[in-house]
Amino acid sequence: MSISYQIGNVDPDRRSIDMTAARLQRIVSDYRRTEAALIASIETEEHLTRRHDPRDPHYSTLAQSMRQRLENLRRTIAKLEAELAARYLGVSNAA
């Protein structure tokens, strides 16, 4: 027996995709805020230590570790945004 959908009802599979996309959007939004906070923290540390060049041998270890975390976070954001774009196109990158 098949289920008929009335006007206004959403296909359950489509609803699941929409919920997942909404969850991904919230995560990306949270990560963007974390990214901004990390950038501010790096700038503060560089200001306090008066070292702005990561190649400087006296560059802050804390700032260097935050820079690495920032790069990892940016890679994660890019992957999540690619997954989000794929979901909007109806294609999943998940293997």
Block means of pLDDT (10 residues each) for the chain, 95 residues, are: 49 67 94 98 97 96 98 97 85 49
Residue 21, pLDDT score: 86
Q: What is the pLDDT of residue 86?
A: 87
Give the angle 80-86-87 at the CA atoms, nearest 5°.
90
pLDDT at res. 5: 45
CA 84 – CA 22 distance, rounded (Å) = 9
Distances (CA, A) of 63 to 26, 86, 92: 27, 34, 36
Structural domains of the chain, count: 1
- The verdict on residue 35 lying in a domain is no
Q: Does residue 22 sit within a domain?
A: yes
Query: Is residue 50 domain-resident?
Result: yes
**Phi and psi torsions of 17, nearest 5°:** -65, -45
The pTM assigned to this predicted structure is 0.74
Q: Is residue 57 part of a domain?
A: yes
